């Protein structure tokens, strides 16, 4: 059984959860996918904090598709593109820099 994760907050809102050395962020693709950057964004101060805390991985779960994407915090920071469109400084990382994690399909019988 997985232990409860530690919520990660930015400006009073929970933006993800840390389990062990992995930061998990749940998104809805239709709402959160950043087309200009071809991926998903994380607030720059949150990413800095994750690096300072020794968090190694970022996993993004698309709630509407079930897709799971994984990369390292270091790759997010070094390969990501900074931008600010009114929600504070964020870093967007193109999905081509993520590994798509195949989830096992449950047996029907």
Q: Is 96 exposed, middle or buried (0-12, 13-18, 19+ CB in 10 A)?
A: exposed
pLDDT of 105 = 63
Task: Find out whether 48 and 18 touch, Cβ atoms under 8 Å.
Answer: no
Task: Please choose, from the candidates 9, 108, 92, 99, the residue with its C-alpha nearest in 3D space to the C-alpha of residue 49.
Answer: 9
Band of residue 96 on the pLDDT scale cut at 50, 70, 90:
very high
How many other C-beta atoms lie within 10 A of the C-beta of residue 80? 22
HSE toward the beta carbon, residue 74, CA cutoff 13 A: 3
Please list, residue by residue across 53-64, b when 16 or more beta carbons sit within 10 angstroms of its beta carbon and e when fewer do. eebebbbbbbee
Examine the pLDDT at 78 and tell me if it is beyond 90. Answer: yes
pLDDT of 97 = 95
Band of residue 73 on the pLDDT scale cut at 50, 70, 90:
very high
pLDDT of 59 = 97
Q: What is the CA radius of gyration of the chain?
A: 14
Task: Give 9-55 pLDDT, tens digit per residue.
Answer: 998 999 999 999 999 999 988 888 887 778 999 999 999 999 999 99
Domain ranges of the chain: 6-83
Share of the chain above pLDDT 90, in %: 66
Specify whether the backbone of 103 is left (phi greater than 0), alpha (psi in -120 to 50) or beta: beta
Band of residue 1 on the pLDDT scale cut at 50, 70, 90:
very low
């Amino acid at each position: 059984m997985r232990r409860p994760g530690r919520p990660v907050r930015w400006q009073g809102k929970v933006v993800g959860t840390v389990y062990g050395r992995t930061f998990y962020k749940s998104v809805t693709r239709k709402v959160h996918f950043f087309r200009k950057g071809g991926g998903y964004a994380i607030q720059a101060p949150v990413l800095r904090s994750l690096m300072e805390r020794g968090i190694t991985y970022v996993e993004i779960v698309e709630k509407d598709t079930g897709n799971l994407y994984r990369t390292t915090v270091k790759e997010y920071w070094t390969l990501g593109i900074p931008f600010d469109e009114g929600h504070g400084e964020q870093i967007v990382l193109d999905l081509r820099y993520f590994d798509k994690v195949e989830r096992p399909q449950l047996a029907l019988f």
